[in-house]
Amino acid sequence: MNHKRPIIAATAFFSLILLYLPALAVGYFSINNARYGLAWRGFTLEWYTKLFHDQYIIEATVNSLILALVSTAISTILGTALAIGLYRAPWSPKTHRFFDLLINLPVVVPDIIMAVALAMAFRILRLLSEAFEMGMLTLIIGHVTFQISFVALIVKSRLESLGHETDEAAMDLYASRFFHFRRVTLPLIMPGVVAGGLLAFTLSIDDFIISFFTHGPDSITLPIYIYASVKRGLTPEIHALSTLLLIFTAVIVVIVERATRKNE
């Protein structure tokens, strides 16, 4: 359908290089047996094994995992409820549009504004309770805040692609409301819920900006640790850690892509 334009293909490949050169560079330095310099000194996994003996990195990893697991669990439930509530009720089109805007907002609003707003909220909440001292709790609340919208958007698009015929059928067959939710709605939207949850998880693991503004001295996460290392001085261990983080995210994204594509 189109004449082959070499310049188009060339630009496409150039874009790909631009996108992947950073990851390749980090990966290269993570398996190069040289603490300094770029010359290839042979393959090594030394930097990776060292990760498991570094107490700070282990601590940051544990923090990141707790944070991601808890915030993902909360935001998946809240986001799914939000999507169902918005999509399955007789809202007027105007109200519907308003809600749409509201859940799209965290996707469009710059991270740094969200981070500052959260810091502001915690500063006020601290007047009420000491629990809102910057730490794991504020991190979790902060992450849930930006995850909700992503989960809701993905579940909502799943609900929309399902339509209402199954609901009507279930109701016609005298399904109770609970039975309907448990045996009809939930299994049908499950791929969306899982995809939303997985993406919320990667968002949390990879988030830097929100964490940077809402963490405390005892709740360093992996991206914050990496950032601090960039400022302090990079080591091959950090490259190894970053490579693992990149691979982890890539794997989850591929899983989500495959899962959602199959269901289309």
Partner 1 sequence: MAETKFDKDMAKTSSAEPDRDGVLADASDKILVWRGEMTSFKSLRTRALALSAPPLVWLTVLLAIPCVLLVGLSFLTRGQYGEIVYVPTFENIKRLAGFGLFGWNANFVLILLRSFVVAGITTILCIALAYPLTFHIATRPGRSRVFWLILIIIPFWTNVVVRAYAWLLILGPHMPPARLAAWLGLINEGGSLYPGSLAVYLGMVSTFLPFMALPLYASVERLNWEIIEAAKDLYGQRLQIFTQAILPQTRPGLAVGVIVTFVPAMATFVITDILGGAKTMLIGNLIQQQFAQAWDWPFGAALSSTLMLMTLICLAIFKRRQDEDPQGSILNRF
Residues 111-150 that bind partner 1 (CB under 8 A): 111-114, 116-121, 123-124, 141-142, 144-145, 148-150
Report residue 43: phi and psi, to 5°.
-80, 140
Question: CA-to-CA distance for 229 and 209, rounded, in angstroms?
Answer: 16
Burial degree of 225 (CB within 10 A; 0-12, 13-18, 19+): buried
Q: Between residue 4 and residue 33, which ones bind partner 1 under the rule CB under 8 A?
A: 7-9, 11-12, 14-16, 18-23, 25-26, 29
Exactly one of 68, 195, 200, 210 binds partner 1 (CB under 8 A); that residue is: 195
The least CB distance from residue 181 to partner 1, in Å, is: 10
Q: Which residue's CB is nearer to partner 1, number 29 or number 47?
A: 29
- Scan residues 222-251 and list those touching partner 1 (CB under 8 A): 223, 226-227, 230, 234, 239, 242, 245-246, 249-250
Q: Is 163 in the site for partner 1 (CB under 8 A)?
A: yes
Nearer to partner 1 by C-beta: 58 or 98? 98
CA 249 from chain centre, in angstroms, equals 9
Count residues near partner 1 (CB under 8 A): 108
Residues 6+ apart with CB under 8 A from 148: 75, 78, 79, 82, 103, 106
- Assess 190 for contact with partner 1 (CB under 8 A): no
- 203 is a contact residue toward partner 1 (CB under 8 A): yes
Options 46-54, 64-72, 92-100, 127-135: segment touching partner 1 (CB under 8 A)? 92-100
Residues 143/151, Cβ–Cβ less than 8 Å:
no
- Which one among 31, 170, 189, 210 touches partner 1, defined by CB under 8 A? 170
Query: Should residue 73 be labelled a site residue for partner 1 when binding is judged by CB under 8 A?
Result: no
Q: How far is the CB of 139 from partner 1 (least distance, A)?
A: 13
Q: Minimal distance in Å, beta carbon 218 to partner 1?
A: 17
Closest CA to 72 of 143, 154, 153: 143
User: Would you give the end-to-end CA distance of the chain in angstroms?
Assistant: 26
134 DSSP 8-state letter = S
Window of 49-57, 59-67, 129-137, 151-159 that interacts with partner 1 by CB under 8 A: 151-159
Nearest to 145 by CA among 67, 253, 251: 67
> Quick one: 54 or 111, whose CB is closer to partner 1?
111
Is 263 a binder of partner 1 (CB under 8 A)? no
What DSSP string describes 30-84?
Answer: HHBS-SSSSS---B--HHHHHHTT-HHHHHHHHHHHHHHHHHHHHHHHHHHHHHH
